Chains A and B, each alone.
Chain A
């Protein structure tokens, strides 16, 4: 009898298995980060702007986090400005610098595969009389440097190119882009929300003038980010009010969030080498097994210039949301660039920009790993994907038509 209960318990444990593979969406807050944050809710709750002793630890907590983050980028501590997240940092960098330099020119260069925080900000500026060049990318999602050079005009005031893409994981040639911007005297901003804490970044070596990042992508809390603004770069304030953040970003600081972001940065930098090696091994194993064992599939993004934890594939003849729900039944959390998951009729702008036809972009799957995953997880995921893809193709009229037209290609 005990045996039976054991079997049932094990079965339940297996059934409830959750494999979280959506770390590009957000990450689990590290227990040490939570531990670092907690005192700032109930003990060091003073307003950092206040004069009495109770407020001092709050002020100090912020400054320590600032120093840690600056150290991670090779930046000056005073050049880190905390924000309410990555989107705010992107908005600030682009709108405020564009506004400040309007008298010099009104042309901005960005790429077609930026995050919406950059793209929609640029579209907003277009409505305000700015001109924006959206650079095409190659089939792996890389900006072509010759295109960038060709797009530069006398009135170009800002280049904003993301460090690494959130969907397909492609890492841009940031150093070369920075070099081009610098040689033309143009400001260079990079949205590094997916890259910060995952790949090494040196703002001086890469000639970066402004950089956005977010806490919750590196096992830190949500609702906190920063904008690095190189000393000497003149941009306006974005949030007006009090004198916080050297009078450039008003609002009482999110002290626990900032402290947590600092701790998360410290952990991310300390573990980066080992962690990315582990993630790359799992990533390449997962990609290789999927490409070899599932027919009619392709890898999206550059196979090498790629974030350590990003897998993005497109399965023909099936649709992404169906795939995600089936994966969820199997305890696997992923994401897709299909229209149905974007709330519009068009699939992901990134997948279209790398040349995927609509119908194939609908069948995309993004899996973003963490160091908590194991090779055993990867095996389980491949097994589930094979089963689910075959099942969904079995009910796909597109697959039926293809099979009738090309019976020789169906195994």
Chain B
């Protein structure tokens, strides 16, 4: 059901991890729906994305799109990162099954959320960037295991 590229990025995800004191962090998605993506950006003074890491709770497509999205923006300027759309992520993975296309949308939103965090923290305006919907609906489950 998945392309070879999707399986490759799922099996060997690029840029998994956290960045301490990241320039910007964005978390999108919803545990209820089964997808949460978090992207960490390390951006230098020239607004170049020096490093990027991600963490994802979700299906194979969610992991693969996060991985591909980080690859597409690494080393790019924040403005270039803005141009990375869900379509671009999809295409770079040689396509996704129709029911999984929303995962690529989540990847785009995660990048935007991290850029927004960076822009607000640093008082920078990035053209075309809008405030992300903060929809991480994680309720604390107080159940003992």
Contacts and interface: CB of A to CB of B under 8 A. Distances in A.
Interface in A356-411: 357-360, 362, 394-401
A343 B99 contact: yes
A66 B125 CA distance: 76
Interface in B21-68: 27, 31-38, 54-63
B59 A296 contact: no
Contacts of A395: 13, 16, 54-56, 63
B139 interface: yes
B32 A396 contact: no
B91 interface: no
Contacts of B63: 322, 395
A53 to B, nearest CB: 50
A319 interface: yes
Contacts of A401: 138
Given A357-B139, A395-B63, A339 B33 contact: yes
B145 A325 contact: no
A389 B60 CA distance: 14
Nearest to B136: A397
Contacts of A318: 57
A329 interface: yes
Interface string A24-68: 000000000000000000000000000000000000000000000
Interface in A277-302: 295-298
B71 interface: no
A104 B106 CA distance: 53
A401 B38 CA distance: 11
Given A296-B145, A343-B99, A358 B31 contact: yes
A357 B141 contact: yes
> How big is chain B's contact interface, by range?
20 to 34
Nearest to B25: A397
Contacts of B18: 400
Contact of B145 (A298, A322, A397): A298
Given A396-B55, A397-B38, A397-B56, A359 B145 contact: no
B59 A319 contact: yes
A316 interface: yes
B80 interface: no
B10 interface: yes
Contact of A347 (B10, B34, B54): B34
A319 B57 contact: yes
B10 A325 contact: yes
Given A316-B145, A319-B57, A321-B59, A398 B138 contact: yes
Contacts of A338: 34, 59
A101 interface: no
Nearest to B97: A343
A339 B38 CA distance: 20
B11 A329 contact: yes
Interface in A330-371: 338-340, 343, 345, 347, 357-360, 362
A339 B29 CA distance: 14
Given A319-B58, A343-B99, A358 B32 contact: yes
B58 A322 contact: yes
Contact of B32 (A316, A343, A359, A394): A359
Nearest to A318: B57
A316 B58 CA distance: 12
Nearest to A298: B145
Given A347-B34, A397-B38, A359 B138 contact: yes
B31 A297 contact: no
Contacts of A360: 141, 143
A322 B10 CA distance: 8
A319 B61 CA distance: 12
A362 B60 CA distance: 13
B21 to A, nearest CB: 15
Nearest to B144: A298
Contacts of A400: 18, 38, 55
Nearest to B63: A322
Contacts of A316: 141, 145
Interface of B: 7, 10-11, 13, 16, 18, 27, 31-38, 54-63, 99-100, 138-139, 141, 143, 145
13 contacts: A295-B145, A298-B143, A298-B145, A318-B57, A320-B59, A321-B59, A321-B60, A325-B60, A329-B11, A360-B141, A397-B36, A397-B38, A397-B56
Interface of A: 295-298, 316-322, 325, 329, 338-340, 343, 345, 347, 357-360, 362, 394-401
Q: Kindly list the 4 A-B residue pairs having the minimum CB-CB distance in the complex, ordered from nearest.
A: A340-B59, A359-B31, A321-B59, A397-B38
